[in-house]
């Protein structure tokens, strides 16, 4: 076994690999760029080697620097993680020449599977079912149209070298092909330096199901069942789970057998993933093979008990697999949520910045469910513009799917992030949706369920109760403190009558304290809520408690006469008033919201690349106001109406925060 491994990666996957190495008694080296000098991975590794500027093509993608770092530190093997050099056969060969073991498959297997056209031809020869289509290069748009018409619409135009959801277009008609073919070709050329394109049948309303395989250097290959990754946004995975709610034992066995056959055909000798697209009738077709550890591998580890990183290290060192297919079984259900630095309320625009607060759920057994949180950042760290905007991969395991969904919903409640925007409320919304619970998944799920984007969900009755109870309990703590009781939970006033107004809905409550329990009576509804196990101090951003026996955590912040509370996908302003002031409130004319229609505000923090209008200029709806760069992406801000620009709030070169005024209409 190796005594020292170098990790040619960063962030959560570097941290995750270090954890397994530590358990195996293997020393670790990480390489790091400028942006990662103070990262969690650097602080956890036994040694760290600086490899250059932040852009990956000057650091993490430079094979020479990685190999030099191995020689310098005496690392015997390199784990590439995913992304970066993980699927680069040239790098794997360079490692071998330099006498360093590449912890991944042999380079010929990477080559055979690295390219979508080649791998499909290969798979077809190995007897794997592939998506019907033209598996070969296409010369021009006219050729593309001919092929699309042979296959029959809809079709998918794909870059052979594509990955990470880039270089893919769906075409429903001739015009889509005429436009899409050159667009995909240009994107492929830019992103992958390779403009070979092919076309295959688009499977309507499909599901993404993939099989985890594992091989050793002695000809053994097994599979570790499937993961379903159908919850995607723009072909990028957001929520994954294992097993898949679609598969029955027979389909699972058939997919597993095909995946193993393909892996054997390329002498696969590490962990890898065979991706399929499945129709709702359970027919399935090979998509591609990823010859690396997969981002969503934790859900497989949770249902099989196998540490995939450990197995990759062992087989790279020449060990034989110590278990057989028949030793493996699916135990329970696991879900992974990718926590991204993006603002779900603003069309998921990237949202960068410093994690000014980052509270994570406790990992391990939580009674009924288990939590795992793979993360590469700590409170105070910066989500950098240079790399993937992923903050964490939060996983929940339980004996069955409903338990795993409930566990994930609870784990998301216990996650608190301040600084960058994050998609936690969106993920919570999915967990609360009956359709997700029913397992009726498809890669269109997000488009179907949130056709106009995400703006939260209306509260379910128990969610309204949680919000009301939290507000009442916090109000009591603050009232007690105001009375000089020192903020403890035994205020002088034992019984109170209040009016709680949440988003215009008025509810009268009568609160009685009974030891540590609050009884919250709702006289008009004829119910009494029982709030127990209260855990909150003034200033804390999370309020935990047990409502009628059910544990919950809500995200809370003080606001005038009450609080702003977010619970799951519900965000409400809540007022806690005395009956008298509630009556006064009712008689007050409703305050008109400030008129923001004349303002053009920045939807995210970023840099103003150009200001494309001038003061006094007449602009038309849709005209470009300015361009803002954030997360290495240029975002075009357009006028939402016609009008004259009265004044500008920013100029080219300015840094702007979210909501900063960019321009004002007259
Ligand atoms: P998975 O299928 O494991 O979820 P993704 O397709 O989302 O993986 O990609 C995993 C990681 O690798 C991501 O960080 C993604 O940005 C990166 N990646 C995937 N393919 C490429 C590629 N061809 N070039 C650069 N990065 C890639
Ligand atoms: P990448 O290398 O970017 O991961 P894939 O070929 O794996 O590219 O496709 C990414 C996603 O696009 C899949 O997860 C699936 O949701 C969707 N997809 C790919 N091919 C098809 C197809 N033929 N029909 C329907 N959906 C597809
Ligand atoms: Mg894929």
pLDDT value at position 401? 98
Pocket lining: 208 vs ligand 2, CB cutoff 6 Å: yes
pLDDT value at position 485? 52
Question: Strand pairing of 353-354 and 382-383?
Answer: antiparallel
Share of the chain above pLDDT 90, in %: 82
Of all ligands present, the nearest one to the C-alpha of 132 is 2
What's the pLDDT tens digit per position in 166-193? 889 999 999 999 999 999 999 999 888 9
Pocket lining: 165 vs ligand 2, CB cutoff 6 Å: yes
Pocket lining: 200 vs ligand 2, CB cutoff 6 Å: yes
**DSSP for 172-225?**
SSHHHHHHHHHHHHHHHHHHHS---EEEEEPPSS-EEEEEEEEE-TTS-EEEEE
CA distances from 254 to 4, 162, 323, 332 (A): 39, 27, 20, 21
From atom 11 of ligand 1, which residue's Cα is the shortest distance away? 83
What's the pLDDT tens digit per position in 251-280? 999 999 999 999 999 999 999 999 999 999
For ligand 1, what atom is nearest to the CA of residue 236? 7
From atom 12 of ligand 1, which residue's Cα is the shortest distance away? 83
What is the C-alpha separation between 238 and 339, in angstroms, rounded? 8
- Domain boundaries of the chain, sorted by first residue: 4-103, 105-131+208-331, 134-201, 332-453, 461-587, 599-665
In the structure encoding, which two tokens stand for residue 467, read together?
């919000």
- Ligand 3 mean position, distance from CA 12 (Å): 20
What's the pLDDT tens digit per position in 80-106? 999 999 999 999 999 999 999 999 999
- Ligand 1 mean position, distance from CA 165 (Å): 8
pLDDT value at position 331? 98
For ligand 1, what atom is nearest to the CA of residue 294? 3
In the block, which residue shows the tokens 């703590």?
477
Architecture, CATH, for domain 461-587: 2-Layer Sandwich (3.30)
Return the biggest CA–CA distance within the chain.
Answer: 82
Number of H helices, E strands in the chain: 17, 40
CATH of domain 599-665: 2.40.50.100
Averaged over 374-384, what is the pLDDT? 95
In the structure encoding, which two tokens stand for residue 373, read together?
């949180």
**Torsions phi, psi for 124 (to 5 deg):** -60, -40
pLDDT value at position 636? 83
pLDDT value at position 327? 97
- Ligand 1 mean position, distance from CA 236 (Å): 9
Q: If you average pLDDT over each of 158-167, 373-382, 586-595, which comes out highest?
A: 373-382
What's the pLDDT tens digit per position in 418-474? 999 999 999 999 999 999 999 999 999 999 999 999 999 999 999 999 999 999 999
Within this chain, domains 461-587 and 599-665 share the same CATH topology: no
Averaged over 528-546, what is the pLDDT? 96
Is 288 part of the annotated catalytic residue set?
A: yes
pLDDT value at position 487? 47
Residues counted in the chain? 666
Pocket, ligand 1, Cβ cutoff 6 A: 82-83, 163-164, 192, 236-237, 290, 294-296, 388
Of all ligands present, the nearest one to the C-alpha of 296 is 1
What's the pLDDT tens digit per position in 315-357? 999 999 999 999 999 999 999 999 999 999 988 988 888 999 9
pLDDT at 493 over 70: no
What's the pLDDT tens digit per position in 549-605? 999 999 999 988 899 999 999 999 999 999 988 888 888 776 666 676 788 988 878
- Contact in structure between 121 and 93 (CB atoms under 8 Å): no
**Torsions phi, psi for 424 (to 5 deg):** -55, -45
Of all ligands present, the nearest one to the C-alpha of 231 is 2
Under the banding of pLDDT at 50, 70 and 90, the label for residue 519 is: very high
Query: The domain 105-131+208-331 belongs to what CATH superfamily?
Result: ATP-grasp fold, B domain (3.30.470.20)
Averaged over 358-382, what is the pLDDT? 97
Catalytic residue (choose from 288, 301, 336, 413) = 288
What's the pLDDT tens digit per position in 606-654? 889 999 999 999 999 888 999 988 766 778 888 888 899 999 999 999 9
Architecture, CATH, for domain 134-201: 2-Layer Sandwich (3.30)
Pocket lining: 413 vs ligand 2, CB cutoff 6 Å: no
In the structure encoding, which two tokens stand for residue 42, read together?
């650097």
pLDDT value at position 494? 59
What is the C-alpha separation between 228 and 280, in angstroms, rounded? 13
- One of 3.50.50.60, 3.65.10.10, 3.30.470.20, 3.40.50.2300 is the CATH number of 332-453, namely 3.30.470.20
CA distances from 39 to 9, 15, 44, 261 (A): 12, 10, 9, 41
For ligand 1, what atom is nearest to the CA of residue 162? 23
For ligand 1, what atom is nearest to the CA of residue 229? 4
For ligand 1, what atom is nearest to the CA of residue 388? 14
From atom 23 of ligand 1, which residue's Cα is the shortest distance away? 163
Architecture, CATH, for domain 4-103: 3-Layer(aba) Sandwich (3.40)
- Ligand 3 mean position, distance from CA 302 (Å): 22
Cα end-to-end span (Å), the chain: 72
From atom 27 of ligand 1, which residue's Cα is the shortest distance away? 83
- Contact in structure between 258 and 100 (CB atoms under 8 Å): no
Averaged over 37-59, what is the pLDDT? 97
CA distances from 175 to 148, 265, 400, 401 (A): 11, 39, 46, 43
> Could you give the 3-state DSSP secondary structure of residue 91?
helix
- Ligand 2 mean position, distance from CA 191 (Å): 17
From atom 24 of ligand 1, which residue's Cα is the shortest distance away? 163
- Ligand 2 mean position, distance from CA 287 (Å): 7
From atom 6 of ligand 1, which residue's Cα is the shortest distance away? 164
Which of the listed residues 114, 123, 235, 274 should we mutate to test ligand 2's pocket, taking the one with most ligand atoms within 8 A of CB?
235
pLDDT value at position 311? 98
- Ligand 1 mean position, distance from CA 163 (Å): 6
Which of the listed residues 194, 277, 290, 447 should we mutate to test ligand 2's pocket, taking the one with most ligand atoms within 8 A of CB?
277
Which of the listed residues 164, 280, 287 should we mutate to test ligand 2's pocket, taking the one with most ligand atoms within 8 A of CB?
287
**What is the reported pTM?**
0.88
Of all ligands present, the nearest one to the C-alpha of 206 is 2
pLDDT value at position 385? 85
**Residue ranges with CB less than 5 Å from ion ligand 3:** 275
From atom 25 of ligand 1, which residue's Cα is the shortest distance away? 83
Quote the mean pLDDT of the chain: 93
Kindly give, in sequence order, each residue whose CB lies less than 8 Å from that of residue 143, ignoring residues fewer than 6 positions away.
none
pLDDT value at position 633? 72
Q: Phi-psi region for residue 167, left (φ > 0), alpha (ψ -120 to 50) or beta?
A: left
């Amino acid at each position: 076994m190796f005594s020292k491994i170098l990790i040619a990666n960063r962030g959560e996957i570097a941290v995750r690999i270090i954890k397994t190495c530590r358990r195996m008694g293997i020393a670790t080296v990480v390489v790091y760029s400028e942006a990662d000098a103070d990262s969690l991975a650097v602080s956890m590794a036994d040694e760290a080697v600086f490899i250059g500027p932040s852009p990956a093509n000057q650091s993490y993608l430079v094979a020479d620097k990685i190999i030099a770092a191995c020689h310098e530190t005496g690392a015997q093997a390199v784990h590439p993680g995913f992304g970066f050099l993980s699927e680069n056969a040239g790098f794997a060969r360079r490692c071998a020449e330099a006498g360093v073991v590449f912890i991944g498959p042999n380079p010929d297997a990477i080559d055979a599977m690295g390219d979508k056209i080649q791998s499909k031809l290969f798979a077809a020869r190995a007897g794997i079912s592939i998506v019907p289509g033209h598996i070969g290069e296409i010369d021009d748009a006219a050729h593309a149209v001919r092929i699309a018409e042979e296959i029959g619409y809809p079709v998918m135009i794909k870059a052979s070298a594509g990955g990470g959801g880039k270089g893919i277009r769906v075409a429903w008609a001739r015009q889509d092909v005429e436009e899409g073919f050159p667009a995909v070709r240009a994107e492929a050329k830019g992103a992958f330096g390779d403009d070979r394109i092919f076309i295959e049948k688009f499977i309507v309303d499909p599901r993404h199901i993939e099989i985890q395989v594992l091989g050793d250097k002695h000809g053994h290959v097994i599979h570790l069942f499937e993961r379903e990754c159908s919850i995607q946004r723009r072909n990028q995975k957001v929520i994954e789970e294992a097993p898949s709610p679609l598969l029955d034992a027979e389909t699972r066995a058939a997919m597993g057998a095909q995946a193993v056959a393909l892996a054997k055909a390329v002498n696969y000798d590490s962990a890898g993933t065979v991706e399929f697209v499945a129709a709702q009738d359970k027919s399935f077709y090979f998509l591609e093979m990823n010859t690396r550890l997969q981002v969503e591998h934790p859900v497989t580890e949770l249902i099989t008990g196998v540490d995939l990183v450990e197995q990759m290290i062992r087989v790279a060192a020449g060990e034989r697999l110590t278990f057989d297919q028949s030793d493996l079984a699916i135990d329970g259900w696991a879900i992974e949520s990718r926590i991204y630095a993006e603002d779900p309320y603003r069309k998921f625009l990237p949202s960068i910045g410093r994690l000014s607060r980052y509270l994570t759920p406790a990992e391990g057994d939580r009674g009924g469910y288990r939590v795992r949180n793979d993360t590469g950042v700590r409170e105070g760290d910066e989500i950098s513009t240079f790399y993937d905007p992923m903050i964490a991969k939060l996983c929940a395991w339980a004996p069955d799917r409903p338990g795993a969904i409930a566990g994930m919903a609870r784990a998301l409640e216990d996650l608190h992030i301040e600084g960058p925007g994050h998609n936690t409320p969106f993920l919570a919304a999915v967990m609360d949706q009956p359709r997700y619970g029913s397992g009726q998944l498809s890669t269109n799920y997000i488009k179907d369920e949130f056709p106009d984007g995400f703006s939260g969900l209306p509260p379910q009755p128990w969610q309204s109760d949680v919000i009301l109870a939290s507000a009442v309990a916090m109000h009591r703590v603050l009232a007690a403190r105001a009375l000089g009781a020192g903020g403890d939970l035994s205020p002088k006033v034992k019984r109170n009558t209040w009016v709680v107004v949440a988003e215009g809905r008025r509810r009268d409550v009568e609160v009685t304290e009974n030891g540590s329990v609050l009884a919250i009576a709702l006289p008009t509804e004829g119910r009494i809520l029982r709030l127990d196990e209260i855990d909150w101090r003034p200033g804390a951003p999370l309020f935990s408690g047990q409502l009628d026996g059910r544990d919950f955590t809500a995200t809370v912040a003080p606001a005038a006469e009450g609080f702003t509370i977010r619970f799951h996908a519900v965000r409400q302003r809540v007022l806690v008033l005395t009956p008298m002031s509630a009556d006064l409130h009712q008689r007050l004319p409703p305050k008109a919201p400030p008129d923001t229609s004349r303002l053009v505000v920045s939807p995210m923090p970023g840099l103003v690349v150009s200001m494309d209008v001038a003061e006094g200029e007449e602009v038309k709806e849709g005209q470009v106001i300015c361009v803002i760069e954030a997360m290495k992406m240029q975002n075009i801000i357009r006028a939402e109406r016609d009008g004259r620009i009265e004044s500008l709030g920013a100029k080219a070169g300015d840094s702007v925060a979210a909501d900063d005024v960019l321009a004002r209409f007259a």
